[in-house]
Chains A and B, each alone.
Chain A
Amino acid sequence: MSAAIDYLLHLADNALVLGQRNAEWCGHGPILEEDIALSNVSLDLIGQARMLYQLVATLKGGDATEDKLAYFRDTGEFRNYTLLELPHHGPLSGYAHSSLDYGTTIVRNFLYSALMALLWEALAKSNNTDLAAIAAKSLKEVRYHLRHSRDWLVRLGDGTDESHVRVQASLDHLMPYTQEFWAHSPAEAAAVKDGIAVDLNTLKADWDAIVDAALEEATLQRPKAGGYVPEGKNGVHSEHLGFLLAEMQSLARAHPNGVW
């Protein structure tokens, strides 16, 4: 049971944190159509997070609810990939600020969607039938997210000299964080053993193929892997998640007895 809960929280936190990040574009997109598209992606992700948290709440029983899980857990309890909590700009310390950068957004959405298109497909066969149903629904959504981010990756990579340089820098910044996809996590391993989860390493070759084909079309260079391997899925995060949660949880925590 606990292996399932930990794994489902990992999937839910991934969806919520990236949904929260993508919603930051609402009202600030480079063109109106992209405001609408990114809001859609964000809505899908928050919808996925809600289904997964509701499933966790059922498994946990007691007074657990989707909102308690989203709003009343602290940074170290979140199990999302570090990649997904990073702000929409290049590398900066937690309390530094910079404008939203669309290249960062697109590269991140592409790298994550490429993974989830494979993972949701595999999880649709999970022996947890609730998770399998969520995966089947999410698969339809992520295929659109992948198409959207891949199309833009190609446009930006193959666009102007400026866009090429910018999106290459985003890729250089974010690609090392994807090493976390393949790193060991005790929760994931336990869930794989129980037949709930899928060993991601069985999907790596397919992920590499999706990424390499898109980068070639986008005329971008894949940076070498290596260096620090993030551990967000084990609860060890970057400086950025604390700020994201502080903002997201502030109102709910200011009124713990409030009804919304």
Chain B
Amino acid sequence: MYTQSFNVPDAPGGKAVAPVPSKEDPALQAAFDTRIDADGRIEPQDWMPDAYRKTLVRQISQHAHSEIVGMLPEGNWISRAPSLKRKAILIAKVQDEGGHGLYLYSAAETLGTSRDQMLEGLHSGRAKYSSIFNYPTLTWADVGVIGWLVDGAAIMNQIPLCRCSYGPYARAMVRVCKEESFHQRQGYEALLVMMTGTAEQKAMVQDAVNRFWWKCLAMFGPPDADSPNSVQGMRWGIKRISNDDLRQKFVDATVPQAKVLGVTLPDPDLKWNEERQHYDYGQIDWNEFWETVNGNGPCNKERLATRVKAHNDGQWVRDAALAHANKQKARSIKEAA
């Protein structure tokens, strides 16, 4: 689903990244740098600097966690979807997010960290995930707006990741981006239909846009001046376009879409700047963003507790599957003997 620009550090003190013995051999480092400079791909079996590996594990696992936590705000409306067609579309969409989580965890596993380790990081509250999911989905229109704006913002972030220097991540992102583009169009189409409906439906769409607009702008991460990790990420070909540039691209793309839809974007400073050939926009509330990233948003506790509960409630099921598999194995060994 949706990444905020992942240059938000996890909380310290974890072991989410398996320590990999580093041979900071100058020759290996030089070969790595040459490949990066030539825009080549790094594959799991290749030598890579520890810091590169660590950054990727952090970024890919944050991305995977975002997909999984992101199932909850939209899943909130599956049972109440107002038509069978929309119900089917929403289930398929949330299921896609689960699928994205699965291949992202797999991509991160190629770096030598297990899904269990990554989940432990999430459940302990140490690993971050996209803070957009810490806001509640209050009406059905939120489902459409999440598709249009949140997935739209995510696509801006993610398309450059298809060219990421780490092969497994780049390849996973190609598929993720295709599905996200589909979700974005579905969300926008759902809103277009609602805007042909009753006055209450139109008000519902506007209200959802008002609540999500600023949160979506913040999804691109802190301004470039305050993003210390970005420079190194650019150097490594993990990050291709800066937070502010992506944010601007998103604003420029979204303003005409809002016009077609017939909604107002809640920013009095939003206007076309002839000189810059871009839209100017107002001040993002970074205090609120950091409060939410740091666990104090409206739904942080609920989201995390829901993930932990699902995991803990499912322990007996996973244990049973493992026990049965072991019994089967023992039986087949006995039969063979």
Contact = CB atoms under 8 A, between A and B. Distances in A.
Interface of A: 16, 20, 23-24, 26-36, 39-40, 42-43, 46-47, 49-50, 53, 66-67, 70-71, 99-100, 102, 154-156, 158-160, 162-163, 166, 247-248, 250-252, 255, 257-260
Given A28-B310, A163-B323, A252-B82, 12 more contacts: A23-B91, A27-B71, A27-B75, A27-B306, A32-B102, A36-B102, A67-B84, A71-B82, A154-B324, A156-B324, A159-B322, A258-B200
Interface string B5-20: 0000000000000000
A29 B140 CA distance: 23
Chain B residues touching A, range = 35 or more
Contact of A30 (B78, B79, B201, B318): B318
Contact of A49 (B84, B91, B309, B321): B84
B196 interface: yes
Given A102-B314, A158-B327, A160-B319, A39 B95 contact: yes
A29 B310 contact: yes
Contacts of B140: 251
Given A27-B94, A35-B98, A260-B194, A163 B79 contact: no
Most A CB within 10 A of own CB, among B313, B325, B327 = B313
Contacts, number: 150
B80 interface: yes
Nearest to B64: A32
A160 B198 contact: no
B141 to A, nearest CB: 11
A32 B68 contact: yes
Most A CB within 10 A of own CB, among B84, B85, B87, B102 = B84
Contacts of A255: 82, 197-198, 200-201
19 contacts: A23-B87, A23-B91, A26-B75, A26-B98, A27-B75, A29-B314, A36-B102, A43-B88, A46-B88, A100-B313, A102-B317, A156-B317, A156-B324, A251-B81, A252-B82, A257-B197, A258-B194, A260-B82, A260-B86
Contacts of B297: none
Contacts of A162: 316, 319-320
Contact of A257 (B87, B101, B198): B198
